[in-house]
Amino acid sequence: MRRVMPFLLVLVGLLAFAPAVAADTIGSPRESYESVGLEAFNSVCGNQTCTDTHVYAERQTTSSGDTFIYACADQFTYSIRTGRGMGGGGGCSDIPTSALTVSKDLSSASLSPVSVDFCVRRQCNTITISADLLATGGSATFRSRYSENDGTCTFTYADSGQRQFAAGSITFDGATSAADGSIFGSKTTVTSKCR
């Protein structure tokens, strides 16, 4: 359960965030972008609760030449006995291009210290996050297809790429801890059909 929850939370966050970025860049019925990035997580458990911390960073380069780069962080505490959430928050911010480094063979990636807006309920603060990962040998390819409708246009996303499993460290608001995660590269094609 502890290993599954981070990936589910990050996936939900990405599906909510990435289409919005891509939709803003679509100037024609068909657009594509390439992405590289890292995701890292750490779970610390006591007698009754666990706290999961996640750091994510991605650089997207569109076929029309635009580049978007951002980092996200979230942290959640939940009951070991029930799995019920007991509090947490998260947020994303644009970051400098130089802050994220990903090797071409996906063997290493690093996020230098950057500031992100971190919100808990309706209160937001700025925290500093960073990450360093090295591939651990395992890898996986992935492919997906999904659609969303904004009431006027339907956007269809076709995504494929590779993910290297990795380990290293993350720093979250001044606290550094060991982390598991992955380093990824992908290509996404977006087609749009509007009324």
Domain that holds residue 130: 4-194
Residue 15 — pLDDT band, cuts 50, 70, 90? very low
Per-residue pLDDT tens digits for 74-90: 999 999 888 888 889 99
Angle (CA) 125-44-72 rounded to 5° is 35
Number of domains in the chain: 1
Q: Which residues contact 102 (CB under 8 A, 6 or more apart)?
A: 36, 37, 38, 59, 108, 109, 183, 185
Residue 58 — pLDDT band, cuts 50, 70, 90? very high
Which of 39, 25, 9 is closest to 186 using CA atoms? 39
Query: In percent, how much of the chain has pLDDT > 70?
Result: 86
Q: Which residues contact 19 (CB under 8 A, 6 or more apart)?
A: 148, 155, 157
Q: Would the pLDDT of 9 be above 60?
A: no
pLDDT of residue 28: 54
